């Protein structure tokens, strides 16, 4: 139970980004489900991972389109929590960050934010251009000793992700 107590105490400051308590509770549920889900099948996998009823599926879909969360405030609070609470690794006084990107092909021409994207690849089986979304994320390095005198255990705590191309 201490894991979930710690989980809730870390996420409690995100309450300020939600205009109602109900929105915050759905946010907690969605984040918990995303962390616990065994597959990547969207809202369905969250519902399955948490053992929720069918009614919750529609509520979660509504939650992901809610106007009741200030996403700019949520972004600022999560970044603040990540930098204060988790003791990020520094090298020469500078924060160690990892950046990565992903291009996701989409077949719909009228989908929001779908753009023509160039793919760099040595494979001639991949097309040079695709239509899709480009997602980038920056993570903060977290280093901790696995045992005194042993190697570091590295973890990467993601900061808020944005669609940079096609946003």
In the chain, alpha helices (H): 2-11, 21-36, 43-50, 54-63, 71-85
Tokens 């494979």 belong to residue: 123
Q: What is the structure's pLDDT at 15?
A: 92
- What global pTM score does this model have? 0.72
Return the structure tokens found at 161: 């992700």
User: For the chain, which residues make up each domain, given as ranges?
Assistant: 2-83, 86-165
pLDDT tens digits along 17-46: 999 999 999 999 898 888 888 887 788 889
Q: What is the structure's pLDDT at 146?
A: 61
Contacts for 103 with CB less than 8 Å, ≥ 6 apart? 117, 119, 130, 132, 133, 134, 135
Q: Cβ distance 78 to 139 under 8 Å?
A: no
Q: Is the pLDDT of residue 137 over 80?
A: yes
Tokens 């009823």 belong to residue: 53
Give percent of the chain with pLDDT exceeding 90. Answer: 10
């Amino acid at each position: 139970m201490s894991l979930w107590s710690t989980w809730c105490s870390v996420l409690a400051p995100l309450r300020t980004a939600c205009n109602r308590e109900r929105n915050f509770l759905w946010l907690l549920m969605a984040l918990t489900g995303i962390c616990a889900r065994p597959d990547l099948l969207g809202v369905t996998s969250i519902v399955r991972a948490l053992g929720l009823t069918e009614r919750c599926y529609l509520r979660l879909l509504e939650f992901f389109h809610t106007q009741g969360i200030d996403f700019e405030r949520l972004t600022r609070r999560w970044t603040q929590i990540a930098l204060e609470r988790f003791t990020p690794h520094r090298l020469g006084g500078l924060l160690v960050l990892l950046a990565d990107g992903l291009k996701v092909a989409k077949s719909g021409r009228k989908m929001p934010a779908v753009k023509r994207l160039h793919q760099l690849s040595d494979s001639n089986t991949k097309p040079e251009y695709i239509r899709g979304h480009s997602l980038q994320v920056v993570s903060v390095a977290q280093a901790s000793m696995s045992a005194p005198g042993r190697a570091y255990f590295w973890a990467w705590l993601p900061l808020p992700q944005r669609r940079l191309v096609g946003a």
